[in-house]
Amino acid sequence: MGIVVQKYGGSSVADAEGVKRVAQRIVDAKRAGHDVVVVVSAMGDTTDELIDLAEQVSPLPPPRELDMLLTAGERISMALLAMAVGNLGHEARSFTGSQAGVITDSRHGKAKIIDVTPGRIEAALTQGAIAIVAGFQGVSQDSKDITTLGRGGSDTTAVALAAALRADVCEIYTDVDGVFTADPRIVPTARRRERISYEEMLEMAACGAKVLHLRCVEYARRYDLPIHVRSSFSKMPGTWIADPEAGSEDMEQAIIAGVAHDRSEAKITVVGVPDKVGEAARIFEALADAQINLDMIVQNVSAAATNRTDISFTLPRADGQTAMAALARIKDEVGYDSLLYDDQIGKVSLIGAGMRSHPGVTATFFSALASAAVNIEMISTSEIRISVIVDETQVNDAVTAAHAAFDLEAEQVEAVVYGGTGR
């Protein structure tokens, strides 16, 4: 049999018991005849604790040193995991990102993987050992400094290693039982997806589904590598993320893959922008200069009487202050009237490749929201997604109504919520 790459998040190895439970899973895969490579995150809250220490020492830690600090977290979890596997009678060797050949650019804190040269991993596998690799970290090509990949980086490490090793599958173990048609904490009868396409999963992740990070799904799609998302706390079969098999008529292909929601955004409205060429561009330039990623953007029709228009957009709440300050600086230059800021919003998205060929989806979605008395503040659509911004207090109602309208319910409750997420 071939190579299996398994990734375990921080909540799966939060304590010694978790480490031992994960070790047993790893040994099970080894005994089933696979060559096993494991990518592991830092234990539980380790990363947050280290960041806290850094803040006690310096208000603005140099990124190189912050990366050096944070990578201590995986060093601890991977060594403990290797010990626990050894205890079960199988040799395991731990490797830092650098030792595993994870080569990145030099952007500390959000480095991109440039290349993976897993020579030491392959040697360990050849010798019958299990390789345990630190997630989230690499070494920069130019300066040979230690880098981190940013949040979600461990998933990306796992997928990148799996691609470089030509693994059969990358198994991502997390604290949920797979990808569901909605967050089971909101919709208890949400149905587990047995399979979902890269394209749908990308939209789900972009719209707030926290199971997988966008970046790791993109990486997997590029290398056509199947991802299998499973819980490390149960034996549930999880969800496969892969393209529909060629030639096969995928019976599972539903109209709607799921309903995602996101409470992490805020909405800014620039009121009374003079309706002249270039004014909107000036606003978005200022936001781009401030390194702010916008999500949805809506421009109202200009009121004929005033020749002025309103521009609204959503952005990560964490960037709210920066964005407001950047816009305030160009008030006189642009000549708008005022700024409105609202962080009591939520985004609810309907995702499904099937909606391409089903024109009634939008109507069904909106009438379900109307029946649930949910007021829509903004709308944006793509070919396989419809997103709406609603009041934060109405997010749960909107998710529940949409989920019911498209008959996504499972026959019985199948989701278990374990709480916490890794990085």
Positions touching a copy of itself (CB under 8 A) are: 16, 19-20, 50, 53-54, 56-59, 61-62, 64-66, 68-69, 71-73, 75-76, 78-80, 82-84, 86-87, 92-94, 99, 120, 144
Q: C-beta of 31: minimal distance to a copy of itself in Å?
A: 19
Phi, psi of 411 (to 5 degrees): -65, -35
Helices (H), 250-373: 279-289, 320-329, 331-334, 361-371
Centre a 10 Å sphere on the Cβ of residue 182 and count the other Cβ atoms it contains.
25
**Is position 8 annotated in a ligand binding site?**
yes
Tell me which residue has tokens 């439970």: 21
Residue listed under structure tokens 């419809």: 386
On whether 400 is known to bind a ligand per the annotation, the reply is: no
Q: How far is the CB of 65 from a copy of itself (least distance, A)?
A: 4
Provide, rounded to whole angstroms, the least separation between the CB of residue 49 and a copy of itself. Answer: 10
Per the CB < 8 A criterion, the answer to whether 325 and 310 are in contact is no
Ligand-binding site membership of 30 (annotated): no
Closest CA to 44 of 13, 84, 8: 13
* 210 annotated to a ligand binding site: yes
Give the helix/strand (H/E) hosting 64.
helix 63-70
**73 annotated to a ligand binding site:** no
Rounded to a whole number of angstroms, the minimum distance from the CB of residue 137 to a copy of itself is 11
Q: Residue 175 annotated as binding?
A: yes
* Cβ distance to a copy of itself smaller for residue 61 or 274: 61
* Least distance CB 263 / a copy of itself (angstroms): 33
Give min distance, CB of 230 to a copy of itself, in A: 23
74 is in an annotated binding site: yes
Is the CB of 146 or the CB of 187 nearer to a copy of itself? 146
Distances (CA, A) of 249 to 229, 244, 353: 23, 8, 14
Q: Give the angle subtended at the CA of 318 by the CAs of 321 and 150, to the nearest 5°.
A: 135
Measured from the CB of residue 80, what is the shortest distance to a copy of itself in angstroms? Answer: 5
Nearer Cβ to a copy of itself (146/292): 146
Label residue 317 exposed, middle or buried (CB < 10 Å: 0-12, 13-18, 19+).
middle
CB-based burial, 289-304: b 16+ in 10 Å, e otherwise? eeebebbbebeeeeee
174 is in an annotated binding site: yes
**Six-digit token string for 38:** 């494991």
20 carries a ligand binding annotation: no
H helices of 127-278, in order, are 153-164, 198-206, 214-223
Take residue 90 and report the two structure tokens written for it.
């199988």
Between 94 and 396, name the residue whose CB sits nearer to a copy of itself: 94
**Rounded to 5 degrees, what are φ and ψ at 73?**
-60, -50
Residue 185 marked as a ligand binder? yes
Name, in order, each residue with C-beta under 8 angstroms of 107's C-beta and a sequence gap of 6 or more.
147
* Least distance between a copy of itself and beta carbon 166 (Å): 24
- Annotated binding-site residues for substrate read 47, 74
- Annotated binding-site residues read 7-10, 47, 74, 174-175, 185, 210-211
- Annotated binding-site residues for ATP read 7-10, 174-175, 185, 210-211
